[in-house]
Amino acid sequence: MRFTAPRGTRDVLPPESELWRRIVQRAEGLFALYGYKEIVLPVMESTDLFVKGMGEGSDIVQKEMFTFEDKGGRSLTLRPEGTAGVARAFVQHNLGRSGLPVKLYYKGPMFRHEKPQAGRYRQFHQLGVELIGSPHPLADAEVITLCNDFFRVLEVPAVELLINSVGDESCRPQFVQALRSFLLKREERLCPDCKRRLEINPLRVFDCKVKECRKALEGAPRVTDHLCEACATHLRSLMDYLQNVNIKFRLEPEMVRGLDYYTRTVFEFQKVKGGPQDTLAAGGRYDNLISIYGGEPTPSTGFSIGLERVAAMLKEGAERNEEIGVFVIAIGEEARKRAFSLVKELRDRNIHADMDFMERSAKAQMKVADREGYPRVVIIGGEEIEGDYYTFRDMGESSQRIVTAEELYGLLMEG
């Protein structure tokens, strides 16, 4: 019997996994540079955590959660995102006790029962950042700048930043009311899901991908026209900070994001002219989430990057075998023993080295070294053992030379 990975999940194989490693390394370097520390969270949480945090009316809670009962009859859910877990951990461990803000990042798999398609998986991976404890637009500017730097450093092509404000508890209810009245007049044109959304949270109609619903939204009230003075000032100030550090963005008044916990700032980094599955990273401010979980009111902001989507953008440009390495070719059993100890010695010195494990001929070993992209090889045969030296060859040159062990280490350390 043969098995395949479950629908909507995938194996990340070399060389793509190498690309992933480089992306994660770069991201973690940047996160550290900005003062963020890693938090490692469980991949499952109480189902209620997500229902209360992301909202009953969100698509994720309605349709996309992998929920199951444990043997004690408790309802658990595989995390569809990381922010709820971070907020839960913040409250549980009183992480704000020695001062705010608390700057955390996380990485790992997330699970959503979505219809699989290009760029949309049921298990996918995020790199996320949360700045917990500041209500100031400067905090939003900081996380947006960090995310922008991520795309800049990795040279991801054709990415644009969209921002908006979804208001707060003092102005959003009026906007929601205006939107509900507007949509009620067009109710018969809405899909069954949106009819339900109209009841629970009409903002979610903006997330609908059904063409008729998109049409019904034409001329709908815009959240930016309903912002209270405090929210409008917050948004203006954020735009000011971004302009000040030369970050380009577009104000997108229809962008509301699919999670109920957002207040004020929301943003997305999208592939230029892309569809909904082309959002590479997204985030926003969530000033009430931590108090929903029983903590002191702690305004916060953050984002997460979708690793699969970023890797897909970089795939074509992926470099091959970045590290300088050496392949040790052994001819005969005695040579194999020597090669094995040489490879170990090189690795102990932090030099990337490998050898053959298949008893191949010298010629076939040379072919492997070439195929794997090794720039250098070392050859060990009877003569080398007798003379206590190595034959060294730079693949770029046709000649080879004889070297002592110390000379060899010197050559390889040079890189």
For ligand HAM, the binding residues (CB under 6 A) are 81-83, 112, 114, 119-121, 124, 126, 128, 130, 279-284, 286, 302-304, 306, 308-309
CB under 8 Å to 397, separation ≥6 — which residues?
A: none
> Which amino acid type is present at position 219?
G
> Which amino acid type is present at position 321?
N
- Whichever of 120 and 189 has its CB closer to ligand HAM, that residue is 120
- Whichever of 164 and 304 has its CB closer to ligand HAM, that residue is 304
- Whichever of 238 and 281 has its CB closer to ligand HAM, that residue is 281
Q: How far is the CB of 107 from ligand HAM (least distance, A)?
A: 12
Q: How far is the CB of 303 from ligand HAM (least distance, A)?
A: 5
Say whether the peptide bond before residue 116 is cis (omega within 30 degrees of 0): no
Long-range contacts (CB closer than 8 Å, 24 or more residues apart) made by 121-126: 121/8, 121/9, 121/10, 121/308, 122/6, 122/7, 122/8, 122/9, 122/66, 123/8, 123/9, 123/10, 124/306, 124/307, 124/308, 125/306, 125/307, 125/308, 126/81, 126/82, 126/304, 126/305, 126/306, 126/307
- Whichever of 88 and 112 has its CB closer to ligand HAM, that residue is 112
Q: Which two tokens stand for residue 39?
A: 């938090």
- Whichever of 132 and 326 has its CB closer to ligand HAM, that residue is 132
Q: How far is the CB of 21 from ligand HAM (least distance, A)?
A: 18
Q: How many CA atoms lie within 13 A of 35 on its CB side?
A: 9
Q: How many CA atoms lie within 13 A of 296 on its CB side?
A: 10
- Whichever of 156 and 227 has its CB closer to ligand HAM, that residue is 156
- Whichever of 241 and 269 has its CB closer to ligand HAM, that residue is 269
Cβ neighbour number for residue 358 with a 10 Å cutoff = 7
Cβ neighbour number for residue 351 with a 10 Å cutoff = 18
Q: How far is the CB of 267 from ligand HAM (least distance, A)?
A: 9
Q: How far is the CB of 15 from ligand HAM (least distance, A)?
A: 20
Mapping DSSP to helix (H, G, I), strand (E, B) and coil, where does residue 233 land? helix
- Whichever of 130 and 384 has its CB closer to ligand HAM, that residue is 130
Scanning the structure block, which residue is given the tokens 């509301």? 256
Q: How far is the CB of 58 from ligand HAM (least distance, A)?
A: 9
Q: How far is the CB of 136 from ligand HAM (least distance, A)?
A: 16
Q: How far is the CB of 66 from ligand HAM (least distance, A)?
A: 12
Query: Could you tell me which of 179, 174, 171 has the C-alpha nearest to residue 204?
Result: 179
Cβ density class 123-135: b for 16+ within 10 Å, e for less = bbbbbbbbbbbbb
CB under 8 Å to 93, separation ≥6 — which residues?
A: none
Comparing every residue's Cβ against ligand HAM, the nearest one is 306
SS3 of 171-186: CHHHHHHHHHHHHHCC
Q: How far is the CB of 194 from ligand HAM (least distance, A)?
A: 19
Phi/psi of residue 260, nearest 5 degrees: -70, -15
- Whichever of 224 and 279 has its CB closer to ligand HAM, that residue is 279
- Whichever of 164 and 365 has its CB closer to ligand HAM, that residue is 164
Sheet containing strand 123-132, strands side by side: 37-38, 102-111, 123-132, 300-306, 279-285, 265-271, 159-165, 250-251
Q: How far is the CB of 111 from ligand HAM (least distance, A)?
A: 9
What is the DSSP-derived secondary structure letter of residue 188?
Answer: G
Q: How far is the CB of 124 from ligand HAM (least distance, A)?
A: 3
The answer to whether 182 and 220 are in contact (CB under 8 A) is yes
Scanning the structure block, which residue is given the tokens 């989430």? 289
- Whichever of 81 and 142 has its CB closer to ligand HAM, that residue is 81
